[in-house]
Amino acid sequence: NVVYSYIKKASHYLELTQQGKQILANLYSNVFRVEHDNT
């Protein structure tokens, strides 16, 4: 995953809060959507 290499350090801190976990979930959802977009 290309994105992970850019956010690896920050993701540790984002995992510490509920808001951070939501940010990561949204990010991964958007990345998944772009990677699997057939248009």
DSSP 37: -
- What does the pLDDT read at residue 5? 87
pLDDT of residue 38: 81
What value does the mean pLDDT of the chain take? Answer: 91
Q: Given the structure tokens 């510490």, which residue do they identify?
A: 16
Range of the domain at 27: 2-34
Whether 19 is in a domain gets the answer: yes
Instruction: Give the tens place of pLDDT for each residue, 4-17.
Output: 889 999 999 999 99
Q: In this structure, is residue 18 part of a structural domain?
A: yes
The predicted model gives 4-32 an average pLDDT of: 94
CA distance 36 to 9: 26
Residue 6 placed within a domain: yes
Q: What is the reported pLDDT for 26?
A: 97
**How many domains are there within the chain?**
1
Q: Residue 22: which pLDDT band, with cuts at 50, 70 and 90?
A: very high
Q: Residues with Cβ < 8 Å from 23, sequence gap 6 or more?
A: 14
pLDDT at 35 over 80: yes
Residue 27 lies in a domain: yes
Q: Cα(first)–Cα(last) distance of the chain, in Å? A: 20
- 39 within some domain: no
